[in-house]
């Protein structure tokens, strides 16, 4: 009897040992080996370098190959955020630490072996291309991983460190003004080479991001440098289909290279130099101080004819883009976060006439301002539609018209006591990641149900390119004829595109701007 008990204990011990060893915890990647941290059935690897530090001579250069490290690197904590005004990230619970040495990524995996070939989702943070960090708690990938996905979050340079263009930089090599986008591409190349070791499937990668991260997803969909690095794309409140910005045109951001280079030279002059070599010796803190507040958005990705070959609307019409299934959408009250105080009928009229020129009357008809209160609402809605809603609508229409893969479009309109007028910018993120903010108390049953549905849609899309599955309301493919979008509000289901008259007015405006730009 004693022998039988002893044999049983030995068997159980061996089984327990095998079970523990079957969880992936140490992985060999480009540069060396990394050891993660287990939390239940999920192992996280934080702070994995995917490129050399972009410091010293590597400042304002494309990301360079990662440097090898000896032994096993303990991947147990986030790297500092890229150089920025960290006040916004701190507001969302991230550490304040920033550094130019910031090209690191993080992985959450549920895989027990490296041959599971799970779908991979790569998160790109937002922040107006001026801020953002992977360490913001809302972006924790644990709950995605619990649903059978390998979740990766990547860092990229922001502000002047990521998007400075000058003629000198242009002569040094390609990509001037788009170093932050090149960081994303380098991270995706790392994923392609290494993610299989974490149990992921390098042939089933979904890129997704919000705000500037969603705009970056759109840019990667149009960049020849990103071709083959992902198979699906999700953009939350992002899109880059407006014409290039030459002066003070309303609702436009990205500049042609020559204008961005002129802006870059002016920035160097404000630092007291006109030489890139000298500027590379300046402290990062000095450069950041000169940049200004967190969301000043002085620097933006550039149409450089390399990373971004040109106007994305034109590229799509010419079928020159990375054609994948897309899942894209916006929130109902996005403009509230950016609303300017003190808007009046007169000031709104001046703003529209200054920015929209010959199409000002078309815009004012779609966004009325007969009273100061009405002008304030129209001002925030015009920002919502130019920055987020129209680019998303244009993207969906182009994809459905010329793409071989489907477009799925959503409209997040979940209202709460804190957001009675609609969902503000970024309000969907806690629901997407399943990280509902505990500071207001336990989430309601309705919030938990909505988050569960959204996560199911996102994960289904990452698995197959189709968000639908049994037990979920059917999400129809967007077409130009039906233009149905999935509403996430009190009920979940398809409805017509919201705010269509306003989007059509903006379409008229952007078509005119594009025709004027082609005359240059």
Supply the residues annotated as catalytic: 211, 334, 425
Q: Work out the widest C-alpha separation in the chain, in whole angstroms.
A: 95
And the tokens for 134? 């992977």
User: d(Cα 410, Cα 428) in Å, to the nearest integer?
Assistant: 11
Cβ neighbors of 227 (< 8 A, separation 6 or more) are: 322
- CA–CA separation, 363 and 249 (whole Å): 13
Tell me how far apart the alpha carbons of residues 100 and 142 are, in angstroms, rounded to a whole number: 27
Cα separation, 202 vs 1, in Å, equals 52
CA separation for the pair 181, 225 (Å, rounded): 10
Quote the CA–CA distance of 226 and 223 in Å, as a whole number.
Answer: 6
Q: Which residues contact 274 (CB under 8 A, 6 or more apart)?
A: 265, 268
Burial annotation 496-506 (CB, 10 A radius, 16+ → b, else e): ebebeebbebb
| CA 203 – CA 21 distance, rounded (Å) | 27
Contact 28, 197 (CB under 8 A): yes
3-state secondary structure 61-107: CCCCCCCCCCCEEECECCCCEECCCCHHHHHCCCCCCEECCCCEEEE
CA separation for the pair 347, 171 (Å, rounded) = 43
Is the separation of the CB atoms in 188 and 207 below 8 Å? yes
User: CA-CA-CA-CA torsion for 433, 434, 439, 445, nearest 10 degrees?
Assistant: 150
Question: What DSSP state is assigned to residue 336?
Answer: G
Token couple for 59? 């400042």
Q: DSSP letter at 84? A: S
Q: Strand, helix or coil at 234?
A: strand
């Amino acid at each position: 009897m004693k022998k039988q008990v002893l044999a049983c204990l030995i068997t159980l011990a061996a089984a327990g040992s095998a079970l523990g060893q079957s969880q992936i915890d140490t992985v060999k990647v480009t540069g060396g080996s990394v050891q993660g941290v287990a939390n239940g059935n999920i192992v996280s690897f934080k702070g994995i370098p995917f490129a050399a530090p972009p410091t010293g001579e590597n400042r304002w250069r494309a990301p360079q190959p990662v440097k090898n490290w000896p032994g096993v690197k303990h991947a147990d904590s986030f790297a500092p955020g890229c150089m920025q005004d960290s006040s916004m990230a701190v507001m969302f619970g991230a550490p304040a630490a920033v550094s130019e040495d910031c090209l690191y990524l993080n992985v959450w995996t549920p895989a027990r072996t490296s041959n599971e070939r799970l779908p991979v989702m790569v998160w790109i943070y937002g922040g107006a291309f001026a801020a953002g960090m992977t360490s913001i708690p809302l972006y924790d990938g644990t709950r995605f991983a619990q649903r059978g996905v390998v979740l990766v979050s990547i860092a990229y340079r922001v502000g002047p460190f990521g998007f400075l263009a000058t003629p000198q930089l242009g002569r040094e090599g390609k990509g001037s003004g788009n170093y932050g986008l090149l960081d994303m591409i380098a991270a995706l190349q790392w994923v392609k080479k290494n993610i299989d070791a974490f149990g992921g499937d390098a042939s089933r990668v979904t890129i997704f991001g919000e705000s500037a991260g969603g705009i970056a997803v759109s840019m990667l969909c149009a960049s020849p440098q990103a071709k083959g690095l992902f198979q699906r794309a999700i953009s939350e409140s992002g899109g880059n289909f407006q014409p290039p910005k030459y002066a003070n045109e309303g609702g436009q951001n990205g500049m042609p290279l020559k204008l961005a280079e002129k802006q870059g030279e002016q920035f160097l002059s404000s630092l007291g130099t006109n030489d890139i070599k000298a500027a590379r010796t300046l402290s990062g803190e000095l450069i950041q101080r000169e940049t200004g507040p967190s969301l000043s958005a002085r620097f933006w990705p550039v149409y450089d004819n390399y990373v971004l070959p040109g106007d994305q609307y034109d590229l799509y019409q010419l079928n020159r883009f990375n054609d994948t299934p897309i899942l894209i959408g916006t929130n109902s009250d996005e403009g509230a976060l950016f609303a300017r105080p003190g808007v009046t009928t007169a000031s709104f009229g001046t703003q529209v006439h200054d920015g929209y020129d010959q199409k000002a009357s078309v815009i004012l008809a779609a966004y009325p301002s007969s009273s100061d209160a009405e002008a304030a609402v129209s001002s925030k809605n015009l920002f919502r539609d130019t920055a987020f809603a129209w680019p998303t609508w244009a993207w969906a229409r182009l994809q459905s018209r010329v793409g071989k893969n489907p477009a799925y479009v959503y409209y997040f309109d979940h209202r709460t006591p804190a957001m009675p007028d609609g969902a503000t910018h970024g309000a969907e993120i806690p629901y997407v990641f399943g990280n509902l903010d505990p500071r207001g108390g336990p989430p309601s049953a309705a919030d938990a149900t909505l988050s569960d549905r959204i996560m199911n849609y996102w994960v289904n899309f990452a698995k197959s390119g189709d968000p639908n599955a049994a037990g979920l309301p059917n999400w129809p493919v967007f077409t130009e004829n039906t233009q149905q979008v999935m509403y996430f509000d009190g009920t979940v289901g398809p409805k017509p595109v919201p705010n269509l008259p306003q989007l059509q007015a903006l379409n008229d405006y952007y078509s005119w701007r594009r025709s004027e730009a082609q005359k240059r």
